Structure 1
C-alpha cells in the first residue's frame, strides 16, 4: 500500500466526464478521471497555471450537462498532468448527485456507508 493510499479514507470511483476547473475567475475545460466524497482527480489543462494550495471551483457535467456536481476545493497536488483537488465545500444538490453516482458505481453499500460516516 502506498503512502497516499494509506492517507486516503474515501473510496474513489473511476468516472470519465467533462469538467470545468475555475481558478481566480478563469475557467479551464478539462475532464474528470475519478471522484470521491472528499475530492477529485482531473486532467491538467495544457494552459493550467495553478499551484498546490490554490482555491478552485470544480464543475462536473453529468448526463450531457443536465446535472452538474459543483464543489469548492483546494489543489492538493499536481503531477503527471493530473490535478488532485480536496473538496472544502459542496452544496446539497451536488452532494446528493455525488452520493448517487458513487452508490451506482461502488457496488458495496457498506463501503459507501463508511465513507459517509467518515465525513462526520
Structure 2
C-alpha cells in the first residue's frame, strides 16, 4: 500500500533555503540550520543538545544574508524525525512576514502558487 506523500498534504509551498537559525525555547537558545521554510512553518536541523518536545512553544530566528535581516516566527514543534524538526508558525510580525514573502518570491517559480499561499493565510 502506498502512503500519501506528506508534501501533498501541505497547503503552503516550501522553499529550500539553507541559512543559520536559532531556536529559542524556555529562554534557552539552540543554534541550528534552516532546511526549508513556508508562510506557515519551517523545517530545521534538530540541534545536538535539543531537549524540546512536540507541542512546545518556541521562537525561531532565521538569519538572512543581511546583518539585520532576521525572520522571527513564534511557532509550535509539530514533528521530529531523522534529525529534522518541523515547526508550525503560530504568529509572525509584519517585518518578518515581509522578509519571508520576499524570500519566497525570489525562490518560487510559480507566482500563482505564491498568491494561493497568501490567500490561504486569510
CA distance in 2, matches of 1:25, 1:2: 37
Q: Which residue of 2 aligns with 1:101?
A: 103
Q: Once superposed, what is the RMSD of the aligned Cα atoms?
A: 1.2
- Between Structure 1 and Structure 2, how many residues are aligned? 120
**Correspondence list, 1:12-91, <5 A:** 12-91=14-93
CA distance in 1, matches of 2:18, 2:4: 24
Q: Which of residues 98, 114, 117 is equivalent to 1:115?
A: 117
Q: Provide runs of 4+ in structure 1 moved above 2 Å.
A: 1-7
Q: Comparing 64-73 with 38-47, which one deviates more in the overlay?
A: 64-73
Superposition TM-score, scaled by structure 2 size = 0.94
Cα deviation, 1:45-104, whole Å, max 9, x if unaligned, reads 000001110000000000153300000000000000000000000000000000000000
Residue 6 (1) aligns with residue 8 (2): yes
Q: Which runs of 5+ in 2 are unaligned?
A: none
